[in-house]
Amino acid sequence: MAGQQQPPYLHLAELSASQFLDIWKHFDADGNGYIEGKELENFFQELESARKGAGMETKTGSFAEKMKEFMQKYDKNADGKIEMAELAQILPTEENFLLCFRQHVGSSAEFMEAWRKYDTDRSGYIEANELKGFLSDLLKKANRPYDEPKLQEYTQTILRMFDLNGDGKLGLSEMSRLLPVQENFLLKFQGMKLTSEEFNAIFTFYDKDGSGYIDEHELDALLKDLYEKNKKEMNIQNLTSYRKSVMSLAEAGKLYRKDLEIVLCSEPPM
């Protein structure tokens, strides 16, 4: 019974990237990218007993109270689930590349700029060889010394973490899970993804002169339209921040069809 196995490493003070991944995979039993419901209770119970076993102080109080306090502290977007980004804050990870990443890509606009730099062939994916450059750049920025084998391990681990369909490529929505939860504007579009036909129709409507790109004001109108079509509330502050993030993909204020397609389509362009 896999469920009965002792989860690895919860008592350790420091974890390596692959140990972190083992813990994640152990508790995210259904592999949906979250620890929730029964998985979450199991995780919290194991965490408590591991802390006791390691001689750490644990608070008195009922399981439900402790669990509630734990969720208030770590469930940053208050959706009642823990995602990988949130779990990284619970477990001190030795390499901590998730947290390292967040520190240096603080906003979704910066993230989109980084994406633009490394998705060199504009495929809507970063491939394994592009990912390596991405991480190498990141580690240099963070002044973290690393050697080639370490960089290789990071690349492989991030692929294991985020390449959910195992094709050796990372789509924008997969990579965006590295962003701080509250900064991940792409999650907001998750329920509103368009098919290629829908996308082409809406883009053509806003690209009045058929130039193949739209500007910031047209993007504004397009996003409002998209929100109304999906009957979702959109405040001005959010709209401004989403527009800024998406416009990070633009060239000299021109947002080309292919770049917007990466954000709004359910499948990136082939």
pLDDT surpassing 90 at residue 214: yes
pLDDT surpassing 70 at residue 101: no
CA–CA dist 29, 34 (Å, integer) = 9
CA–CA dist 61, 15 (Å, integer) = 28
The confidence band for 54, taking pLDDT boundaries of 50, 70 and 90, is: low
Q: Would you call 52 helix, strand, or coil by DSSP? A: helix
What is the percent of the chain where pLDDT is above 70? Answer: 73
Stretch 103-121: mean pLDDT, rounded?
Answer: 73
Residue of higher predicted confidence among 200 and 22:
200
C-alpha closest to that of 55 among 11, 93, 91: 11
- Residue 213, beta-bridge partner list: 256
CA–CA dist 57, 54 (Å, integer) = 9
- Residue 169, beta-bridge partner list: 127
Rounded (to 5) percent helix, strand, coil in the chain: 60, 5, 35
Helix (H) or strand (E) holding 256: strand 255-256
pLDDT tens-digit series, residues 251-260: 888 999 888 8
Residue of higher predicted confidence among 64 and 233:
64
Stretch 105-119: mean pLDDT, rounded?
Answer: 75
pLDDT surpassing 60 at residue 93: no
pLDDT surpassing 80 at residue 169: yes
Place of tokens 């292919």: 258
Give me the pLDDT at residue 94, please: 47
Domains, the chain, ranges and CATH? 13-37+70-183 (1.10.238.10), 185-264 (1.10.238.10)
The confidence band for 203, taking pLDDT boundaries of 50, 70 and 90, is: very high
